[in-house]
Chain A
């Protein structure tokens, strides 16, 4: 499953998992931008969220309309069981490809 995930897809999937009940477009975008240092457009984030939902890795629901959004709803995302499996698979794959790399060229982890 994870082999079909692009880097942005995985980053966004992780952000949705981290944000829990607060995972909607704007919050996901801020989380991803803060962690990657890249300023993704709202359109790019939603396109990716939509693609992840189409793949069955996320599901979404709309909230009640909010005045702060000009009377529009938020679209909140949640990880599905397939999404959780895809994340675990991506982590396993990353650990596998990093195995055996000398510690001198690896980042120090706190």
Chain B
């Protein structure tokens, strides 16, 4: 018997909607998937499932956001900051690796925070999606009930910190590059959150 994509099921569950709602939505999706797989073939059924799962995301996400309480905000911000701290060893490792690779080519490279330094700009642009991904993954892991909202909150909190910091310390990146970097950071956070929930087993209830 064919099964719908389990990773997609996990992602829909990971949105954090009311379990009652996500369960009936996933049940309907699986029921129709089974019928379509029998009549149209599994490949066609999988294509339908992907499209239909995507169309269900806004509704489940709205439900999940509606379930958030004021008391959840400090938790989301706290987990975002925790994920940010987790980036420090990742960033240092990335920096050391890049420096070592460049040194093996005979280039002595140290970071200079300057828009004229192309290597710095390239490093900054590369580190944003990586930082977004890693932090999004950690934030989703820390927010077990609403993992994807945790990842979204991580991107949002760090974007706000970046914008506020920019008021006091001018960014070494040009405005266009900075906007692109923040967009890549948030995209990375979402992908990181999705990667985390895709690893969670959907938790299909046992049949009695």
B-contacting residues of A (Cβ < 8 Å)?
A: 24-26, 29, 41-44, 46-47, 50, 64-75
Contacts and interface: CB of A to CB of B under 8 A. Distances in A.
B56 A74 contact: no
Contacts of B3: 70
B34 interface: yes
A25 B62 CA distance: 18
Contacts of B204: 70-72
A41 B31 CA distance: 14
B59 A72 contact: no
B25 A43 contact: yes
User: What's the interface size class on B, roughly?
Assistant: 20 to 34
B52 to A, nearest CB: 6
Given A26-B32, A42-B56, A66-B31, 19 more contacts: A24-B28, A25-B28, A41-B55, A42-B28, A43-B55, A46-B24, A66-B27, A68-B31, A68-B34, A69-B30, A69-B31, A70-B3, A70-B4, A70-B26, A70-B204, A71-B207, A72-B24, A72-B26, A72-B204
A72 B60 contact: no
A25 B56 contact: no
Contacts of A73: 23-24, 27
Query: Does more than half of chain B's interface fall in helix, strand or loop, or is it mixed?
Result: helix
Contacts of A68: 30-31, 34
B206 interface: yes
Contacts of B25: 25, 42-43, 46
B207 A47 contact: no
A50 B66 CA distance: 13
B77 to A, nearest CB: 28
Contacts of B57: 43
Contacts of A66: 27, 31
B175 interface: no
B185 to A, nearest CB: 28
B21 A70 contact: no
